[in-house]
Structure 1
């Protein structure tokens, strides 16, 4: 475990000899690219959407027209929403596995299944490339401020190459071990804890409101006594203020993360009844058309179930702006959770990470 100050106000260092690629330029990936560029790393950036590439363009960041343009990178960071998106940019003709040189390291900062991480590690190892899983605890705003908590695992040689970059991208780096999948499982477990906290906060704040107590009073008491953790303060504040848009983590991504955690639990014979319940609550939010809201809108669902009106007009406007266009995205066949071992890798297009 390493504790490293972010030093985000430090002046940019001289240009590093290491050439870094960033794949997936959503809010999180863009923050990584810009922060590494500010540190003096030559950055090559790629995304399936040209608009995302244009948005990150600046001196020090080279736009890649195709994944093959990352062939000379020593390290490539990927920030993508799920197993399918990551598979599409790593395998098959023109993917990272085929493109990267021996000795190059792929750092996946995505929230994906442990099984997918193990397959990626094997594919890269077969090409004498390194692979490190480094999912994060935090949102795009924390990524921009370099205050993420980074969970990393991978072979020692690859970790040695990845660590200087990861130290600069967050406030604390946890090195878990050499099995990359372990980092992904810890990340999923962290998201389960957050989701359970959101559900419980939503319920108790709805209880207070229905009983005539200002939820802000309860929030102040709880977060200044026994429940003063970051997750209570950050997400409890969103629930009290009904600040569900713009999202840090959209509901479909939260559905995906809990589904992956439950799949591991089932295969390991670990009952997780509370997690199953909250997973279904998140699915209900998608059914309500709230796919574009932050997952802290579990508090909104709890309030609606209690027959409470919205506290702020902005909530109704945010809900009106939300759509069900992502409805089909989180509801994927079971083979995305338990992929057949004989399935052939495919190459398709990437998706940007929303949160």
Structure 2
């Protein structure tokens, strides 16, 4: 299949690599020095979003935020102006559900199809092709995308109409943020009480507190290894989407607001580019025991 892939960051680069390895022709936009290996592996360099889209049956986006998606789709040399009739746009970024519905309407009006399919699983899942994918769109669009999504993910769910995938992803980000905060607080408490957090983590992995976050991010906290991963500034963006949507529905999300403030503190301490497990370091700093 001819695929345009736009956005080659921590998540996008390994996702594109998996599509290339699966035998697809992948037109890559935003190739940098760190992603030249994708061209060496058989990907095709595209000078613009339009160049990536013009020969593509499917265009996949993996971008940081709502304005980035809008610019790539509808800006100068954007996807919409070069999209082949009937081509499918799959947005795997994590962005506003409201904006997603607007973008889908515009792409559909231009003769294309649209699926929002944000992911969970971090860089580990992106490399392994085991992401959780939350899809919103028509049944026809989902069925058409499924063979590609199966290259990228292990758990793929058609959540509902356009925007439903983004709504599910926002819910995911709420749960992940609060769980990371809980793990960070628990391990910080153990260390402050004079008990080895590594031993506590290992013990808790056999009990009711066990979780994928305790397993992966708990280990990052024990090791003080906060390389992305998923950057705190991007997770804060997702919680901002949650809080904005909640305000529109008059829905209280008090613990989400707390986690958002926690991430504000992390960014104020210069940790915006660190993995979200670095919330553990914020607690260490607050306790006067800055992480190494």
Please indicate, yes or no, whether the TM-score normalized by the shorter chain is above 0.5.
yes
Note closer, same or farther for the CA distance 1:62–1:97 as it changes in structure 2 (3 Å cut). Answer: same
The answer to whether 1:163 aligns with 2:136 is no
Q: How does 1:27-66 map to 2 (within 5 A)?
A: 27-47=10-30, 50-51=32-33, 54-58=36-40, 60-66=42-48
Q: Whole-Å Cα distance in 2 between the matches of residues 186 and 67 of structure 1? A: 27
Match of residue 258 from structure 1: 239
* CA shift for structure 1 position 233: 1.1
Q: Deviations over 1:330-354 (max 9, x none)?
A: xxxxxxxxxxxxxxxxxxxxxxxxx
Q: Whole-Å Cα distance in 2 between the matches of residues 159 and 52 of structure 1? A: 32
Q: Whole-Å Cα distance in 1 between the matches of residues 25 and 198 of structure 2? A: 47
Q: Which has the higher contact order (CA 8 A, sep 6+)?
A: 1
Which of these residues, 161, 181, 189, is aligned with residue 163 of structure 2? Answer: 181
Match of residue 270 from structure 2: 289
The structure with more helix, counted as a fraction of residues: 2
Note closer, same or farther for the CA distance 1:281–1:127 as it changes in structure 2 (3 Å cut). Answer: same
* CA shift for structure 1 position 276: 0.4
CA contact (8 A) 1:203 1:303 kept: no
Q: Deviations over 1:3-56 (max 9, x none)?
A: xxxxxxxxxxxxxxx211101111322212211111111111111x54356342
* CA shift for structure 1 position 292: 2.1
* CA shift for structure 1 position 274: 0.6
The normalised TM-score by structure 1 is: 0.79
Q: How does 1:163-312 map to 2 (within 5 A)?
A: 163-177=146-160, 179-244=161-226, 246-310=227-291
Which of these residues, 126, 130, 133, is aligned with residue 116 of structure 2? Answer: 133
Q: Whole-Å Cα distance in 1 between the matches of residues 281 and 10 of structure 2? A: 25
CA contact (8 A) 1:130 1:158 kept: yes
Question: 1:73 aligns to what SS in structure 2?
Answer: coil
The normalised TM-score by structure 2 is: 0.95
CA contact (8 A) 2:10 2:229 kept: no
The answer to whether 1:19 aligns with 2:2 is yes
Q: Whole-Å Cα distance in 1 between the matches of residues 146 and 101 of structure 2? A: 20
* CA shift for structure 1 position 59: 5.0
CA contact (8 A) 2:129 2:151 kept: yes
Q: Whole-Å Cα distance in 2 between the matches of residues 173 and 272 of structure 1? A: 27
Q: Whole-Å Cα distance in 1 between the matches of residues 230 and 42 of structure 2? A: 29
Instruction: Give the gaps of 5 or more residues in structure 2.
Output: none
* CA shift for structure 1 position 140: 1.9
Q: Whole-Å Cα distance in 2 between the matches of residues 156 and 98 of structure 1? A: 25
Instruction: Give the gaps of 5 or more residues in structure 1.
Output: 1-17, 316-355
The answer to whether 1:150 aligns with 2:146 is no
- C-alpha RMSD of matched pairs (Å): 1.5
Note closer, same or farther for the CA distance 1:29–1:213 as it changes in structure 2 (3 Å cut). Answer: same
CA contact (8 A) 1:206 1:303 kept: yes
